[in-house]
Amino acid sequence: MADLVLILSILVATMRAAAPLLFAGLGELVAERSGVLNLGVEGMMLVGAAVGFAAHAVTGSFVLGLLAAILAGAAMAALFALLTLRLLANQVATGLALTIFGVGLSALIGLPWAGVPATGLPAALWPGLAHDSPALQQVLLLLDPLVWLAFAAVVAVDWFLRRSRTGLALRAVGESAEVAHALGTKVLRIRFLAVLFGGAMAGLAGADLSLAYTPMWVENMTAGRGWIALALVVFSTWKPWWLTAGALLFGFVTIAQFQAEAFGLSFSPDLLATLPYLATIVVLVLISRDATRLRLAAPAALGKPFRPSD
């Protein structure tokens, strides 16, 4: 029984660690499938985390905190879309600038709330589980609603991209904006909405961190998760289910430093803390070795600006 509880605890912890990566990764995946490369995921996550925590601290409502984080991420993405889609600024440079701006803005917004703990998002999907429940049920209490929402989002995004008419139009824009435009598709509108969705999901990922995963605001609390989400999009070859597998893998690596002692393994804590970033580098190196497969999987118009001819 004790072993089963331990295994289930690791699985639950992995899912919780993967949820923010799924939110941010799915949003960026949709944006990139439309042909837009936004490297500002880290900055949007930080702003979402700060705004979401501040809104919750002021109102006492988790729902308002989540909505504020989503709107904050979308607002950051709208700024990026204005610069890159309308003014045709370089997408890579603008994305990097957005991250730098997000780091500074989140530090300013979160300054009054630094180190102030929140109560944590309640496990509303399990109302019958009390804190004096058996051990297995206690583990299930750790699966807050945002974890379930993250995995439900995978199903929704996969269906949207493969089955819906709008999703097919978005994919067509990502492959060739000129051809899609010639067929009457509103290229800029689709790209703008895709970028807004990516920003909203990044803001939600930040709120997941500050309101559920580690319920407090700490400056730079994303700790590079935005960059890992970007790497997961490439790792997944722009497919939602492979993105889920990658997020679970990196989630497990993230919590490895906390679970190693439970299995009697003794490693340096500093070494274990670097594992997610080392794994990111290793994965990217392995993927880069098959350049042809990566090039065929990537949206053909990724990062290419588009200006309508009429």
Q: Which residues of 230-244 are buried (b: 16+ CB within 10 A; e: fewer)?
A: bbbbbbbebbbebbb
C-alpha radius of gyration, the chain, whole number:
20
Task: Return the pLDDT at 9.
Answer: 77
Cα distance between residue 104 and residue 94, in whole Å:
15
Q: Rounded mean pLDDT of the chain? A: 86
Q: Where is average pLDDT lowest: 109-123, 170-184, 227-241? A: 109-123
Task: Return the pLDDT at 124.
Answer: 47
Task: State the Cα angle at 102 between 245 and 228, rounded to 5°.
Answer: 20
Residue 12's pLDDT band (cuts 50, 70, 90): confident
Domains of the chain, residue spans: 2-297
SS3 content of the chain, % helix, strand, coil (to 5): 75, 0, 25
> What topology is assigned to 2-297 in CATH?
ABC transporter involved in vitamin B12 uptake, BtuC (1.10.3470)
pLDDT 10s digits, 266-287: 666 666 667 777 777 777 777 6
pLDDT 10s digits, 122-173: 654 455 554 555 555 556 666 788 999 999 999 999 999 999 999 999 999 9
